[in-house]
Amino acid sequence: MRVRVFYHDKCFDGAASAALFSRFYRERINPDAQFVFSGLLHRAGALFNEADFDGDENAIVDFKYSSSPRITWWFDHHLSAFLTPQDAENFRNDRSGKKFFDPDYKSCTKFLADTTARVFQFDPRPVADLVKWADIIDGAQYSDVKTAVELGEPAMKLTLVIEANQDDTLSGKLIPLLAEKHLSEIIAMPFIAKLLPPLLKRHEESVDIIRKNSEYKDGVIYFDISAYDLEGYNKFVPYYLYPESTYSIGLSKSSFRTKVSVGSNPWTKMPAEKMTNLAVLCERYGGGGHARVGAISFPPNQNEVAKKAAQALVEELRAGYRVATAKA
């Protein structure tokens, strides 16, 4: 039995979800299953290629829904999980008992752990540390911004590796380990340990680059780092630099997209009921995410289009912040 697992690439929660799914599947569905892991990224245009769904079973975790009959398993927690109303309807009509969705979860890993325990009597306790850190990282549930940016924990160092990864072979080695080993053991392994020094140095440099290319006004940070090779920068750096902020809008670029990142400060003093739903904002431009964090992907040659969208969102969030604080 060959099982292909599609997961949100360059994301700790995505890799952790893929690892947890493989452990669950082997323990509760088929102990002889062989897994192939395929990363998916949000980009302008089609997100899926039907020809890639070539496993005996195909699973998608921590990524948007596909109505393809070749997809047999699906777990997701993103508010913007469905590309079209037809996809949402297809999901509602599914009777396989193998597709699950709950946007109230902070991480897909925790959602997958709880769901498989409840529905299939899977025991996720041996990988409790992985589940805990995926929930902290994806839900931005750090005790403070220093923990998020200064990368002292093994999980934070692994996040750095995963988000900056350009090696197509890395996931095939790393994800199976996430399903079996403690995070502190994994970062000590030579193929991971050798990657950390240059990545930690790059992380330190990124803090300075974002500082020099950002502005803060009316609760909103705006930074444009599209001229730099900074795909996979730490998304909490803006709040480290401007702890009084509520929102951030960032423009960055890679080989396959120009990205507008839209986020909110997990430590903001703004009451939750006054916060803007960022997934709804991003959906206007074909993006999505969660109420507190989202993103929009444009083709790599549309930097100016992406910049105009980013600036429009900055003005809207600043205006909303002024109204919210004026009524306080």
Residue 327 has pLDDT above 80, yes or no: no
Cβ atoms of residues 41 and 256 within 8 Å: yes
The torsion angles phi and psi of 247, rounded to 5 degrees, stand at -130, 160
Cα–Cα distance for residue pair 261/244, rounded to 1 Å? 19
pLDDT band at 44 (very low <50, low <70, confident <90, very high): low
- What is the model's pTM? 0.83
* Share above pLDDT 90 across residues of the chain, in percent, rounded to a whole number: 88
Task: Single out the residue of 107, 78, 139, 79 nearest to residue 20, CA to CA.
Answer: 107
Angle between helices 170-178 and 12-28 (to 10 degrees): 60
* Secondary structure, 3-state, 48-96: CCHHHCCCCEEEEECCCCCCCCCCCEEEECCCCCCCCHHHHHHHHCCCC
Digit-coded pLDDT (tens) for 177-186: 999 999 999 9
pLDDT band at 42 (very low <50, low <70, confident <90, very high): confident
**Percentages of the chain per state (helix, strand, coil), in multiples of 5:** 45, 15, 40
Residues of the chain with CATH 3.90.1640: 2-193
Digit-coded pLDDT (tens) for 186-233: 999 999 999 999 999 999 999 999 999 999 999 999 999 999 988 778
Cα–Cα distance for residue pair 229/300, rounded to 1 Å? 13
What residues does 295 pair with on adjacent strands?
Answer: 261, 288
The torsion angles phi and psi of 39, rounded to 5 degrees, stand at -80, 145
Residue 166 confidence (pLDDT): 86
The SS3 of residue 5 is strand
Digit-coded pLDDT (tens) for 290-312: 899 999 999 999 999 999 999 99
- Mean pLDDT for the chain overall: 94
Residues of the chain with CATH 3.10.310.30: 210-326
Residue 41 confidence (pLDDT): 86
Residue 9 confidence (pLDDT): 94
CATH architecture of the domain 2-193 equals Alpha-Beta Complex (3.90)
Tokens representing residue 219 in the block:
């609760």
Digit-coded pLDDT (tens) for 102-146: 999 999 999 999 999 999 999 999 999 999 999 999 998 999 999
- Which residue in the block uniquely carries the two structure tokens 């020809």? 51
Cβ atoms of residues 317 and 249 within 8 Å: yes
**List of E strands, 205-292:** 214-217, 220-224, 247-253, 258-264, 288-289
pLDDT band at 46 (very low <50, low <70, confident <90, very high): low
Residue 232 confidence (pLDDT): 74
The strands making up 220-224's β-sheet, listed across from edge to edge, are 214-217, 220-224, 247-253, 258-264, 293-298, 288-289
DSSP codes of every residue in 144-213: SHHHHHH--SHHHHHHHHHHH---TTHHHHHHHHHTTS-HHHHHTSHHHHTTHHHHHHHHHHHHHHHHHT
Cβ atoms of residues 264 and 139 within 8 Å: no
Cα–Cα distance for residue pair 30/28, rounded to 1 Å? 6
CATH code matching the domain that covers 210-326, chosen among 1.20.120.330, 1.10.340.30, 3.30.70.930, 3.10.310.30: 3.10.310.30
